[in-house]
Amino acid sequence: MATHRTQTILITGAGGFLAAPLACELRRRRPRARLVLASRRGLRGCRACDLTGKKAALRLVERFKPGLIYHLAGTTKPASPRALHAAHVETTVNLLEAALRLEPRPRVIVAGSSAEYGRAAGARPLGEDDATSPATPYGISKLAQTRAALSFRKRGLDVVVARIFNAIGPGTPANLAPGAFASQLARLARDAGEGRMTVGNLESRRDFVDARDIARALADLARPGADAPIYNVCSGRGVAIKRVLKRLIELSRVRVRVDRTAGQAGSSDIPVIAGSRRRLSRDSGWRPRITLERSLRDMLTWYRRND
């Protein structure tokens, strides 16, 4: 794979959870680079671009001619299969078709998801070559995105998929379990100092990795030598959801009664999803630095200030 010396970097999905820490990491590492941030809604400091439109994607890429692209655009919120396909597959195909027209061609790093593994998960940490069997419409759409993205490697585009596990830390969205816990606890602490909160399945175990560590991994994947098609970005161990909730309650100092709801079947009924980071550590030297304890503290602090 070619190295990239151009100093223009495009980040799509700039309004999402991972874009801000990635932008900070890239500014630290590449102070002379020009960062172009793009989001569908055109947030402050971002270029407005709906990547579900082929012409819009082409205009964005041809205008800035990036040498490196991070494709983070998508959604983790519940949506119809059609909407998920548009958000993940259509945006990816349109962006990569546009990138094919550039000369030299850029490296494109696409954000995948551990949800692609789904029911293939078991007791041992999953490697990138393990089977995939997504259990939710979200996971199905992300696997379709990965397959679409990797098909461009055969067409000469330098594409890498970063298969990201359960992101956590400041700004974790409230539609994800840790963010929902922190949001509810921050609100209870502000309003009464006690109360009740509703949660789903607490028995499953997930592989949590801080968004700031994910940003370092994504930055590392721009280096020569990280040339495999897929890299897991994970801690390498599963942590029980109930442990996360227990520690957040302790940190919040809120007296709380926890009510459990059955919820919908899907990823929550998969007992363990944890990944192996061996390939990423081998090819880039990356390893997580931020402890789960710090992630939980920082996430709770963020919700106290922003919720």
pLDDT of residue 263: 56
Q: Which domains, from first to last, does the chain contain?
A: 8-169+209-236+274-289 (3.40.50.720)
Distance (Å, rounded) from C-alpha 185 to C-alpha 182? Answer: 5
Distance (Å, rounded) from C-alpha 128 to C-alpha 116? Answer: 11
Q: Which two tokens stand for residue 225?
A: 């030598």
Distance (Å, rounded) from C-alpha 241 to C-alpha 252? Answer: 17
Residues, the chain: 307
Omega before residue 224 within 30° of 0, cis? no
pLDDT of residue 3: 44
- Residue 108: which residues within 8 A CB-CB, separation 6 or more? 69, 71, 95, 96, 99, 149, 152, 157, 158, 159, 160
pLDDT of residue 267: 62
Distance (Å, rounded) from C-alpha 12 to C-alpha 18? Answer: 10
Those residues of the chain that have pLDDT short of 50 are 1-6, 265
Within 13 Å of residue 56, how many CA atoms lie on the same side as its CB?
16
Q: Which two tokens stand for residue 218?
A: 């994504």
* Rg of the chain on CA atoms, in Å: 19
pLDDT of residue 123: 75
Distance (Å, rounded) from C-alpha 253 to C-alpha 300? Answer: 11
- Residue 112: which residues within 8 A CB-CB, separation 6 or more? 142, 145, 146, 161, 162, 163, 164, 230
Counting residues of the chain whose pLDDT is more than 90, the rounded percentage is: 84
Q: How far is CA 284 from the centre of its chain?
A: 19
